[in-house]
Amino acid sequence: MIEILQHISNYLNSLDWSYILTFIVIAYGLNHYRATDFFYEVFKLKIATRYRVFIIGLVYGIALYFIRGYQLKMIEYLLQSFAFALVFHKLLLEKFLNRLFQSKPKA
């Protein structure tokens, strides 16, 4: 059991937490404010939220790769952070935020 916890701890420590947190904030902001309407007005495309989040994360990850000067072996950690952020955002954070900012209480 201790060995399993050690592997989980090593995995969580290897993630790029600054990428994860900023990606979640950027994706949440672009999906819940007038950015989607602006995108539709400019490009005349409606894209589902899951695809917008995927595109945002991919573009943001590529930008960070070049900005931070990652080496090729660091791409795996960035991809793992991207996958973790998608799951964390969708399963935990979005449910929590929807309940927190819910306008009407459920009957």
Stronger pLDDT, 106 or 87, i.e. the higher one: 87
The residue type at 2: I
Residue 89 pLDDT: 74
CA distance 37 to 45: 10
Provide mean pLDDT across the span 68-78. 86
Identify the band that residue 93 occupies on the pLDDT scale cut at 50, 70 and 90.
low
Provide mean pLDDT across the span 31-55. 77
Does residue 106 have a pLDDT over 80? no
* DSSP characters over the chain: -HHHHHHHHHHHHHS-HHHHHHHHHHHHHHHHSTHHHHHHHHH-----HHHHHHHHHHHHHHHHHHHHT--GGGHHHHHHHHHHHHHIIIIIIHHHHHHHT-SS---
Provide mean pLDDT across the span 12-28. 88
Supply the mean pLDDT for the chain.
Answer: 82
Stronger pLDDT, 18 or 34, i.e. the higher one: 18
Residue 63 pLDDT: 92
